[in-house]
């Protein structure tokens, strides 16, 4: 509210401290980090990412019952995705941990 009313700006360090951003890069490394993040995200299952993003944004405007209904639909749809099958087989075969990070951000 303070920022909206006063039009106050914050520097990168303060934005990180206030958790307005997740990470801060130097000017020199910024472009390389953006490219690395874009490559990681593009290599991941983008359809599943889109589903998660949509649920995140829609969830603020829906009741818990509506959210649960859509989440069930998303889970059912995700099960048919090749990425899900690969990850499930790895998990069942104990080749992968269930909390393994799939997209690594620098």
Sequence spans of domains, the chain: 1-43, 45-106
What pLDDT is stored for residue 80 in this prediction?
Answer: 79
CATH number of 45-106: 1.10.12.10
79 to 1, 43, 72, 91: CA distances (angstroms): 42, 19, 11, 14
More confident residue, 103 or 63: 63
Q: What is the mean pLDDT of the chain?
A: 84
Position 57 scores a pLDDT of 87
pLDDT in tens, 15-62: 999 999 999 999 999 999 999 999 988 888 888 888 888 888 888 888
33 close to 25: Cβ distance less than 8 angstroms? yes
Question: What is the per-residue pLDDT for 30?
Answer: 95
Query: How confident is the model over 74-101, as a mean pLDDT?
Result: 75
């Amino acid at each position: 509210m303070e920022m909206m009313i006063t039009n106050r700006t914050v520097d990168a360090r303060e934005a990180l401290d206030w958790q307005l951003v997740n990470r801060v890069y130097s000017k020199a490394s910024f472009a390389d980090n953006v490219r690395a993040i874009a490559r990681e995200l593009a290599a991941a299952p983008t359809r599943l990412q889109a589903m998660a993003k949509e649920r995140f944004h829609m969830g603020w405007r829906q009741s818990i019952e509506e959210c649960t209904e859509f989440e069930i639909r998303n889970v059912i749809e995700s099960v048919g995705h090749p990425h899900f099958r690969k990850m499930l087989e790895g998990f069942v075969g104990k080749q992968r941990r269930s909390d393994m990070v799939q997209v690594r951000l620098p």
